[in-house]
Structure 1
Amino acid sequence: MKDIFDNTPIYKNELLKKYTYTKTGGPADYLALPETIEELCDCITYAKTKNIPYLVLGNASNLIVRDQGVEGLVILTTQQKQIHVKETRIVAQAGASLKAVCARACEYALSGLEFACGIPGSIGGAVYMNAGAYDGQIDEVFYSATVLTEKGTIETWTKEHMDFSYRHSILQERKAIVLEAEFQLTPGDSIKIQEKMDHLMELRCSKQPLEYPSCGSVFKRPKGHYTGALIQQAGLQGLKWGGAQISEKHAGFIVNIDHATGKDYEELIAHIQKVIDQKFGVRLEPEVRIIGRK
Structure 2
Amino acid sequence: MSDDKLYETLKLSLPSDRIRRNESLDKYTHTKTGGKADYLVLPNTYEEASAVTAIAYETGVPLTMLGNGSNLIIRDGGIRGIVLHFNRLNKITVQGNTITAQSGAAIIDVSRTALNQTLTGIEFACGIPGSVGGALVMNAGAYGGEVSHVLVNATLLTKDGEIITLKNEELELSYRSSIISKKDFIVLEAVFALEPGKYHAIKAMMDELTYLRESKQPLEFPSCGSVFKRPPNHFAGKLIQDSGLQKARIGGAEVSGKHAGFIVNVDGATATDYLSLINHIQRTVKKKFGVHLHTEVKIIGED
TM-score (norm 2): 0.94
Return the offset for 1:7. Answer: 6.8
The match for 1:291 is 300
1:84 aligns with 2:93: yes
Identity of aligned residues (%): 51
- Whether contact under 8 Å (2:155, 2:163) holds in the other structure is yes
Q: Deviations over 1:273-293 (max 9, x none)?
A: 111111111111100000001
The match for 1:242 is 251
- Whether contact under 8 Å (2:53, 2:159) holds in the other structure is no
Pairing partner for 1:165 from 170, 174, 195? 174
Pairing partner for 2:66 from 37, 42, 57? 57
The match for 2:285 is 276
- The 1:212/1:167 distance shift into structure 2, 3 A limit, reads same
Pairing partner for 1:233 from 231, 242, 247? 242
Say which is worse superposed, 142-151 or 92-101, in terms of deviation.
142-151
The one-letter code matched in structure 2 to 1:126 is: A
Q: Specify the SS of the correspondent of 2:51.
A: helix
TM-score (norm 1): 0.97
The match for 1:201 is 210
Q: 1:98-117 alignment to 2 at 5 Å?
A: 98-117=107-126
Say which is worse superposed, 146-155 or 195-204, in terms of deviation.
146-155
- Whether contact under 8 Å (1:11, 1:32) holds in the other structure is yes
Q: Specify the SS of the correspondent of 2:204.
A: helix
Q: 1:11-160 alignment to 2 at 5 Å?
A: 11-160=20-169
The match for 2:231 is 222
Distance 2:17 2:100 in 1: 24
Return the offset for 1:8. Answer: 6.0
Distance 1:92 1:147 in 2: 13
The one-letter code matched in structure 1 to 2:134 is: G
Return the offset for 1:120. Answer: 0.5
The one-letter code matched in structure 2 to 1:221 is: R
Number of aligned positions between the proteins: 294
Q: Deviations over 1:211-233 (max 9, x none)?
A: 00000000000010001100010
The match for 2:3 is none
Return the offset for 1:110. Answer: 0.6
Return the offset for 1:155. Answer: 1.4
Distance 1:149 1:40 in 2: 11
Q: Specify the SS of the correspondent of 1:95.
A: coil
- Whether contact under 8 Å (1:8, 1:39) holds in the other structure is no
Return the offset for 1:6. Answer: 2.1
Distance 2:138 2:197 in 1: 27
Distance 2:139 2:17 in 1: 29
Return the offset for 1:51. Answer: 2.2
Distance 1:175 1:8 in 2: 27
Return the offset for 1:256. Answer: 0.2
Q: Deviations over 1:66-113 (max 9, x none)?
A: 001100111111110111112111110000001111111111111011
- Structure 1 residue ranges without an equivalent (≥5): none
- Whether contact under 8 Å (1:115, 1:200) holds in the other structure is yes
The one-letter code matched in structure 2 to 1:114 is: E
Q: Specify the SS of the correspondent of 1:61.
A: coil
Q: Give me the CA root mean square deviation.
A: 1.2
Distance 1:112 1:283 in 2: 34
Q: Specify the SS of the correspondent of 1:275.
A: helix
- Whether contact under 8 Å (2:71, 2:297) holds in the other structure is yes
